[in-house]
Amino acid sequence: MGLFDLTGKKALVTGGTRGIGLMIARGLLDAGASVTISSRDAQACETARAELAAHGDVAAVPADLSTEAECLRLAAAVEGPLHVLVNNAGATWGAPLMEFPEAAWDKVLDLNLKSPFFLTRALLSQLDLAASDDDPARVINIGSIDGLRVSALSTYSYSASKAALHMLTKVLAKELGPRRITVNAIAPGPFESKMMAATLGAFGAEIAASSPLGRIGRPDDMAGATVFLASRAGSYVTGAILPVDGGIATTV
């Protein structure tokens, strides 16, 4: 098996119907994995499944992961060993400081922080089945560079949730390492996605210019980072936060 080959592995990608999640699902399929995607929108699940089917073996399970009950239901739908869990589903909320509502904290932290914890815990038996000394099972949390630096946007709960997710990644890496499960996070910079559409529409040229590489992220950039962490190439990496941002946050 090649260093980046995922043939025979099973992966679950939450929020896998669009944006970064769709990029990740396609990359895992292209590397040989079979992939289950999840989203709260059943129609979006079917549309994405049909699109991704050209790349490999893909299934879709609708689930609203903002509740522990739905995390448990999704976990129960995943049968047998699970080699790769990608906790990507997320939400954001922007509002001025004096107008920022309680609902913005509840919605964003439920999905961005609590969901990865509850889903990972619910899937431990399946991850254990896939884990070995030479080839650990993998949990990959999708954080953000806004959890590494102070954003210019008034997205208080989003930035806080991603910084907390980065720390949760390290805590779980220590906890699950003895079970032969690695836990890492990817901290994306700007990529084409529904969440970033308005910001890129208004400030895309300026954001690209702020990167030492002079551009925003491409699908292969996200796919490549995920395949690295999911494959034999990343089997000795755990507790890491990997910025994939063209240097926007990491060179400031």
| CATH code assigned at 64 | 3.40.50.720
Residue 35, in any domain of the structure: yes
- Read off the pLDDT of residues 108-155 as tens digits, 9 standing for 90 and up: 999 999 999 999 999 999 999 999 999 999 999 999 999 999 998 999
Spatial neighbors of 85 by CB under 8 A, at least 6 apart, are: 11, 12, 119, 120, 123, 127, 137, 138, 139, 140
Supply 191's token pair.
Answer: 């990529």
Q: Which domain holds residue 51?
A: 10-244
- Does pLDDT of 251 surpass 80? yes
Residue 5, in any domain of the structure: no
Mean of the per-residue pLDDT values for the chain? 95
Identify the pLDDT of residue 149: 94
- Considering its fold, how many domains does the chain have in total? 1
- Read off the pLDDT of residues 35-44 as tens digits, 9 standing for 90 and up: 999 999 999 9
Residue 251, in any domain of the structure: no
Residue 2, in any domain of the structure: no
Residue 95, in any domain of the structure: yes
Instruction: Give whole-number Cα distances, 42 to 57, 68, 75, 174, in Å.
Output: 19, 19, 17, 35
Residue 71, in any domain of the structure: yes
Catalytic positions, please? 158
Residue 250, in any domain of the structure: no
Cα torsion 67, 139, 84, 221 to 10°: value is 110
User: CB of 238 within 8 A of CB of 182?
Assistant: yes
Identify the pLDDT of residue 1: 75
Instruction: State the helix-helix crossing angle for 219-230 and 19-30, rounded to 10 degrees.
Output: 60
pTM: 0.95
